[in-house]
Chain A
Amino acid sequence: MSVLVYTESDQGKFKKAALEAASYGKAVAEAMGTNLVALTFNANDASELGTYGVEKVLNVNTVSVFNAKIYADIIRQASEKEAATVVILSASADSRYIAPLLAVGLKAGYASNVVAAPSSLSPFVVKRTAFTNKAFCNTEISTAVKIIGVSNNSFGLVENMTTTQLEDFSPNLVNSSTKVTSVDKASDKVSIADAEVVVSAGRGLKGPENWGMVEELADVLGAATACSKPVSDLGWRPHSEHVGQTGKPVATNLYIAIGISGAIQHLAGINSSKVKVVINTDPEAPFFKAADYGIVGDAFEVVPQLIEKLKIFKAQN
């Protein structure tokens, strides 16, 4: 018996979401009185996982390009080799792509968007978000093997220094007729999925030429930039920045909304962010009802000041 966590890396470096998944896995393994094993692909320094309680790492060096079907089958093989009864993945785009394929391969029940450690092991019950963050659903997984997708920034990083044993793992590779032909990814920018802070702006900014200050604020905070649906529909910003129900989901520690009124579809997409700050000229904007902190004011006056003050703050802290 064991708990297996798939720890995703990007160019050899573990994603924060992967370390969070490992922290979650450790909590489950401890509750079950068993070991935590991680599966990695091409990791530079797999021993880093020892910080989060991973006792054994299976590292795969024989696959260089991501393919959901092949990855899912490798995780299945690792799960069977380690006799894993719980398999943990993060909420990254790739992990969400893999998990349902893995669930069928392992004949395992799968709960996604899980926000807390299991409330009970027998029956096995986890809490997940549902109704686009308007509710939580306590879900029982009734299969022998269980798959959990952990939401970003929900369980958090929990250090648990452990000696890690490294092992090279050479799985069989299944065939796939799906091939990646090109990747278009900005390497110098923080992605919305990986960000701990997101700075988002709406139509209140009046035009795409005014986004300089949004980008500067994001820079100061090490944040990703995002936008509301009207802004992406108008073509002021790329669709990939659209957050909300039909755009990207956001679950950050801090979400700053500038000139966004707060339509229900927008709020649904960003609601699981922990702390929300709104800056808007209209005190009646619905966003003020959903936010923790608010400034009623003109973004063109408030944001430049905020940038200056944050620069001073960052220099001192």
Chain B
Amino acid sequence: MKLLVCISHVPDTTSKINFTEGDTKFDTNGVQYVINPNDEFGLTRAMWFKEKQNATVDVISVGGPETEPTLRKALAIGADAAIRVNAEAIDGHTVATYLAAAAKEGTYDLIIAGRESIDYNGGMVPGMLAAMLDANFVTNCISLEIEGTNATAVREIDGGKETVSTVLPLVIGGQKGLVEESDLRIPNMRGIMMARKKPLIVVEPTTETSETHSVSFEKPAPRGAVKLVEADNIDELINLLHNEAKVI
């Protein structure tokens, strides 16, 4: 089984979000980058496929050379090879187009991407990629088992979950549940040393096909200080929620 895990290089949650050039560009100054959390759950699930079902696991990312440490981390965690599409990730459609081209080249049985990235939160790359490849698709996936060419996946729905059966080739929009937080792996020294020798292939993009672009950014208006209510004055809280906030 050949697996491809899509990795988005995103600002760590604790990073301060700022914009530059008249609020038209994300300010990368002082920002720590990580593997997108939703992708990391998928990467760890892929490691289990590798260890238990002899799968080979490639990872792929779209971005400039600055994204390579993130791919190297994925190699250190255990992926076999990495692909970097040397292009700017303008929108979800562009990224999906580049990924689809690379995925066709590699003829993968299973592609796992995160349900959404924590930077632009578009939630569109896995679905678009599946549609472009005419592969089956399950998103918000919290459990995945593969036997031969058959797959059983559990998807979170509003108010519950559903189990679906499908077949490979398959694209998954993964999230926590594919594996648990405690299953995530921290690269050890041996993994880091081995990652240096693993292939990291840089490919040039196919034609850019953006359909949307960010015009400008805004930060939410600063919030006022919290209104504290005494613990023995619950009536006041109810009064505020009813008359001031108008939410009850």
A residues apposed to B, CB below 8 Å: 68-69, 72, 92-94, 96-97, 99-101, 103-105, 108-113, 123, 125, 127, 129-143, 176-186, 189-194, 197, 221, 229, 233, 239-240, 242, 245-248, 253-254, 264-265, 268, 271, 274-275, 277-278, 288-298, 301-302, 305-306, 309-310, 313, 317
21 A-B contacts, Cβ less than 8 Å apart? A68-B137, A93-B155, A97-B139, A103-B124, A112-B124, A134-B220, A137-B120, A142-B210, A142-B212, A179-B166, A180-B163, A183-B160, A184-B163, A185-B157, A190-B159, A193-B158, A248-B156, A274-B245, A291-B226, A294-B227, A317-B242
> Is B52 an interface position by the 8 A CB rule?
no
A138 close to B247 (CB less than 8 A): no
B238 close to A310 (CB less than 8 A): yes
B17 close to A135 (CB less than 8 A): yes
> Is B216 an interface position by the 8 A CB rule?
yes
Least CB distance from B143 to A in Å reads 11
Contacts of A310 in B (CB 8 A): 238, 248
Closest B residue to A304 using CB positions: B234
Closest A residue to B120 using CB positions: A130
B211 close to A305 (CB less than 8 A): no
Least CB distance from B46 to A in Å reads 17
The winner among B158, B224, B228 for most chain A CB atoms within 10 A is: B158
Additional 16 contacts, C-beta under 8 A, given A111-B212, A309-B238: A68-B137, A97-B127, A100-B131, A101-B130, A103-B127, A112-B124, A113-B122, A129-B121, A130-B121, A131-B17, A131-B121, A136-B218, A136-B219, A184-B160, A278-B226, A313-B248
B216 close to A264 (CB less than 8 A): no
Least CB distance from B89 to A in Å reads 13
A84 to B200, CA, bound (A): 44
Least CB distance from A267 to B in Å reads 9
Contacts of B175 in A (CB 8 A): 246
Given contacts A93-B140, A110-B211, A113-B121, is CB(A132)–CB(B219) below 8 Å?
no
> Is B60 an interface position by the 8 A CB rule?
no
Contacts of A294 in B (CB 8 A): 226-229
> Is B192 an interface position by the 8 A CB rule?
no
Binary per-residue interface labels of chain B (40-68) against chain A in the complex, 1 for a CB within 8 Å, 0 otherwise: 01000000000000000000000000000
Given contacts A136-B220, A139-B214, is CB(A247)–CB(B176) below 8 Å?
yes
Contacts of A72 in B (CB 8 A): 131
> Is B165 an interface position by the 8 A CB rule?
yes
Given contacts A103-B93, A221-B248, A289-B226, is CB(A178)–CB(B164) below 8 Å?
yes
Closest B residue to A124 using CB positions: B212
> Is B191 an interface position by the 8 A CB rule?
no
B159 close to A264 (CB less than 8 A): no
Contacts of A186 in B (CB 8 A): 159-160
A104 to B137, CA, bound (A): 14
Given contacts A140-B212, A239-B177, is CB(A181)–CB(B165) below 8 Å?
yes
Give the interface SS of chain B, mostly helix, strand, loop or mixed: mixed
A265 to B15, CA, bound (A): 11
Which of chain B's residues 57-97 have a Cβ closer than 8 Å to chain A?
Answer: 91-93, 96
Least CB distance from A58 to B in Å reads 22
> Is B181 an interface position by the 8 A CB rule?
yes
Count of B residues near A, CB < 8 Å? 81
Binary per-residue interface labels of chain B (151-183) against chain A in the complex, 1 for a CB within 8 Å, 0 otherwise: 010011111111111110000000111001110
Least CB distance from B100 to A in Å reads 10
> Could you say which of A129, A178, A229, A305 contacts B234, with CB atoms under 8 Å apart?
A305
Binary per-residue interface labels of chain B (93-132) against chain A in the complex, 1 for a CB within 8 Å, 0 otherwise: 1001000000000000000000000111111111110111
> Could you say which of B126, B212, B226 contacts A288, with CB atoms under 8 Å apart?
B226
A132 close to B248 (CB less than 8 A): no
> Could you say which of A130, A132, A278, A302 contacts B231, with CB atoms under 8 Å apart?
A302
A134 close to B219 (CB less than 8 A): yes
> Is B206 an interface position by the 8 A CB rule?
no
Contacts of B248 in A (CB 8 A): 197, 221, 254, 310, 313
A100 close to B234 (CB less than 8 A): no
A28 to B121, CA, bound (A): 23
Given contacts A135-B19, A186-B159, is CB(A295)–CB(B229) below 8 Å?
yes
Contacts of A103 in B (CB 8 A): 93, 124, 127-128, 131, 211
The winner among B14, B123, B217, B219 for most chain A CB atoms within 10 A is: B123
Closest A residue to B140 using CB positions: A93
B159 close to A193 (CB less than 8 A): yes
Contacts of A177 in B (CB 8 A): 136, 166-167
> Is B193 an interface position by the 8 A CB rule?
no
Contacts of B164 in A (CB 8 A): 178-181
> Is B223 an interface position by the 8 A CB rule?
yes
A110 to B212, CA, bound (A): 7
